[in-house]
Amino acid sequence: MKAHGWVIAAVLAGVVAATGTASAAPDARRMLQSADRDGDGMVTRAEFASSRQAVFDRLDRNRDGVLDGADRAGVRPVPARLRDAVAGADRNRDGRITRAEFAAAPTPLFDRADTDGNGVVDAYEMARL
């Protein structure tokens, strides 16, 4: 497995919806609900981005601002299809995912849930996942 493969596995194993791909509806709802920082029952794109950064912080075990082989202890393997789903996060293909790369990664879960495109996932949209 390439160096970045385990990083992608860690992202998906820990919080599949951090990238918003390949997650079952109950898990997707749960992840969106956990991103609701102010508890108003709606998730803004800013709240979702903040939640993703918290995920990065949890995965960056050595606190060096990069997800790489040094953070891999205790990460369980996940299927290749899930690793491939977020391979694009490593923009420069150096086998490491920086905080900036992680933040800039696509957000298909949020995009799919925000059916009216207003930048907010409300309770109705969440229930439809």
The pLDDT tens digits of the residues spanning 54-100 come to 888 888 888 999 888 777 766 666 556 556 555 678 888 888 889 99
Q: How many helices (H) and strands (E) does the chain have?
A: 7, 4
Dihedral sign for Cα 24, 9, 112, 29, please: positive
- Higher-confidence residue: 3 or 120? 120
User: What is the pLDDT, as a whole number, of residue 27?
Assistant: 79
d(CA 27, CA 102): 20
Q: What is the total count of domains within the chain?
A: 1
d(CA 108, CA 64): 27
Residue showing tokens 């794109």 = 45
* Element holding 66 (H helix, E strand): strand 66-67
Q: Which amino acid is at 124?
A: Y
User: What is the pLDDT, as a whole number, of residue 22?
Assistant: 46
Q: Which amino acid is at 88?
A: G
Cβ neighbours, 10 Å, residue 71: 21
CA angle 26, 30, 33 (to 5 degrees): 140
* Band of residue 30 on the pLDDT scale cut at 50, 70, 90: confident
Cβ–Cβ < 8 Å for 52, 39: no
* Band of residue 24 on the pLDDT scale cut at 50, 70, 90: low
Structural domain of 13: 3-127
